[in-house]
Amino acid sequence: MTDDTRYAEGLAVRRAVLGEAHVARASANVTAFDADFQRFITEGAWGSVWSRPHFSRRERSVVTLALLAALGHHEEVALHVRATANTGATPEDVAEAMLHVAVYAGVPAANSAIRIVKQTYAAMAAEAAESAMAAEAAESAMAAEAAESTMAAEAAKDAVAAEAAKDAVAAEAAKDAVAAEGGKAAEGEG
C-alpha cells in the first residue's frame, strides 16, 4: 500500500469514527508546523491501525478508550467517547473498560477518566435533546406555514366564489332589468 493510499484510507476511517465535523475542524487548523504530524497520525493511527480487519470498530474503540484513560489523556478520552456514537461501543462497554483501567492502571486514572466520560455523555445527551427540540420547532414552523397556506388558499377560493356569486347576482339583475325594459316597451306599443 502506498503512503497516499494509506493516507486516503486513514482519512476515510478517521471521518467515519470521529465524524466529518471534527476532521474538517482539525484539517482547517493544520499549519506548516503540524502538517507532517497530522499526515503521520492519519496514515499511522487511522490508515494502518484502525483500518486493520481483526478488531471491529467497536472493539477498537473500547481498547482505545482504556489506553487513553490509563495514560490520563482526558481530551482524547472525551473525543473517543463522542466517537462511540459512530463505532457502536455502548456506555456499558465503556464502563467495563474503565473497570479494567482501575485494576490495571490504577483507581485515580480510572476515576479521572470516568468523570470525563460522564461529562461527555451528559453533553452528548444535552446536544441530542437540543437538536430534537430544534427539529420539533422546525416541524412546528413548517406545519404552521402549511396551515397558513391552506387558510390563504381557502380564503382565495372563498373570494373567487363570492366574486362569482356577485357576478351571478349582477347578471341576474341585468337580465331582470332587460326583461323589465322589454315589458315596458311592449306595454307602450299596445
Q: Which of 35, 36, 42 minimizes the C-alpha distance to 15?
A: 42
**Lookup: cell for 23:** 476532521
What three-state secondary structure class fits 52?
coil
pLDDT for residue 158: 81
Q: For residue range 14-27, what is the model confidence (pLDDT) as tens digits?
A: 999 999 999 999 99
Beta carbons of 120 and 81 less than 8 angstroms apart = yes
Residue with cell 482526558: 74
- pTM of the entire predicted model: 0.70
What are the chain's domains?
1-54 (no CATH), 56-155 (1.20.1290.10)
Cα separation, 91 vs 113, in Å, equals 13
Beta carbons of 86 and 124 less than 8 angstroms apart = no
Spans of the chain below 70 pLDDT: 182-190
Q: For residue range 32-43, what is the model confidence (pLDDT) as tens digits?
A: 999 999 999 999
In one-letter notation, the amino acid at residue 60 is R
In one-letter notation, the amino acid at residue 66 is A
